[in-house]
Amino acid sequence: MQTNKQILLPEKYTVIPRVLIFPVNTEGQYLLLQGSPSKKIWPDLWNGLGGHVERNESVLQTARRELQEESGLEAQTFIFAGQIQIETETNTGIAVFVFLARGLSGELKPSEEGELAWKTLDDALELPLVEDLYTLLPLLSNLDARSFPFWGVYRYDQANQLVIDFDFGASASA
């Protein structure tokens, strides 16, 4: 008797789920992480917090875990801001679930991932950021609750330049 009715078709497109969290304090500053020089991806660049969804873990559980692991903080509220599909030119892509974290508590602790710092939007945009954050952070700061969620696709063109497309679905006209 088959216990799992789900099947995988290897020829179909698959995605690796990840979360990206932007904690926001009461002053409206974002907690960003400057990747350590030894990080495999984006060393020395500033980014939000986050990581991979683990087996038997929901996307929200992952956001809670990653926030605590990387900063020592907990959030009263996680706001699902949107989802980004990242094309990799293979049959496997990356699905990034983006959250704002508010109502923060706990004590900020050092992270093995890199250096943590609170930044205003203007200060953040002056930093060496992961390339999509120059678009993503202003988008997050300008959206209100009626604008969420957004849906994005990232891909690279023939010149290896990032191309970003966002869709706001029906909520954009509300």
Burial of 173 (0-12, 13-18, 19+ CB in 10 A): exposed
Q: What is the pLDDT of residue 174?
A: 39
Q: What is the pLDDT of residue 89?
A: 85
CA distance 24 to 71: 13
Domain ranges of the chain: 14-173
CA distance 139 to 127: 17
CA distance 135 to 138: 6
Give CB contacts under 8 A, 24+ apart, made by 7-16.
11/91, 12/91, 13/91, 13/92, 13/93, 14/91, 14/92, 14/93, 15/85, 15/92, 15/93, 15/94, 15/95, 16/52, 16/92, 16/93, 16/94, 16/95
CATH code of the domain occupying 14-173: 3.90.79.10
Averages of pLDDT over runs of 10 residues in the chain (174 residues) are 73 92 97 91 93 97 97 96 93 95 95 93 98 95 77 94 87 43
Cis ω for the linkage preceding 149 (within 30 of 0): yes
Which 8-state DSSP code applies to residue 129?
A: B
Q: What is the pLDDT of residue 102?
A: 96
pTM assigned to the model: 0.90
3-state secondary structure of 64: helix
Q: What is the pLDDT of residue 12?
A: 86
